Amino acid sequence: MLTMIAAILAAATVGHDATGPDPMAAIRQGKLRCGWPDAALKTCRSIARYTALSDDTFDVSVDGLPSEDGLVLHYTSRGRVARNQLCIRITADDIARSTFTKGGVTMIGTALENARNATRADFAPLFGREICDRDDPPGTDGVSASVSFVDGVLAPALDRTVKWVDVRDGYALGPLPGGMI
């Protein structure tokens, strides 16, 4: 369960140290945030698309693979720059507005509500809490180790690798390297 939550949040949150570059620079460049990237397959376990609202706030639209059966979660949230990090506070309302697809088909009715309820239960411990990441400098492959914080406290269970990618790079949702979801 924590792996699923980490994958989805990986797309949405990122941070830099106080001496690093503008935390909103990649957003203004129109880049996507790829959680758990696999460069060989050009896949990400989660992908976030951002819209800058001001110098320190943004909207984020996240697609993530929360299950082994190919179910895709889509949710939106609002974030802000805090301590030179991009942070979000996911809410129950974000999940209530979420959508799911499976095999490219949008879920409706009872199936949609069941998926939302399961996701709501998984995310409930994080509702209203500030989730931020601090990225290590990227390697030559552009991949960074991402260290997570919840309300300013290290949250190693949410750590993962991330990469900012151009939409033209062709990255898409896919399983973790080695076939793990």
Q: What is the DSSP string of 99-115?
A: EEEETTEEP-HHHHHHH
Least confident range from 34-43, 113-122, 138-147: namely 138-147
Phi, psi of 70 (to 5 degrees): 85, 10
Instruction: Write down the H helix ranges in 49-171.
Output: 92-96, 109-123
Nearest to 44 by CA among 27, 24, 62: 62
- Report the alpha-carbon distance of residue 5 to residue 157 in Å, rounded: 9
pLDDT digits (tens, 9 = 90+) for 64-110: 986 777 889 999 999 998 887 889 999 999 999 999 999 889 999 99
Q: Are 48 and 164 in contact (CB under 8 A)?
A: no
Nearest to 27 by CA among 9, 57, 52, 55: 52
User: Between β-strands 14-15 and 153-154, what pairing exists: parallel, antiparallel or unpaired?
Assistant: unpaired
Rounded to two decimals, what is the model's pTM? 0.83
Q: Is the pLDDT of residue 13 over 80?
A: no
Cβ neighbours for 133, distance < 8 A, ≥ 6 positions apart = 10, 13, 14, 15, 85, 86, 146, 147, 148, 149, 162
Maximum pairwise Cα distance, the chain? 49
**pLDDT at position 21, please?**
61
pLDDT confidence band for 16 (50 / 70 / 90)? very low
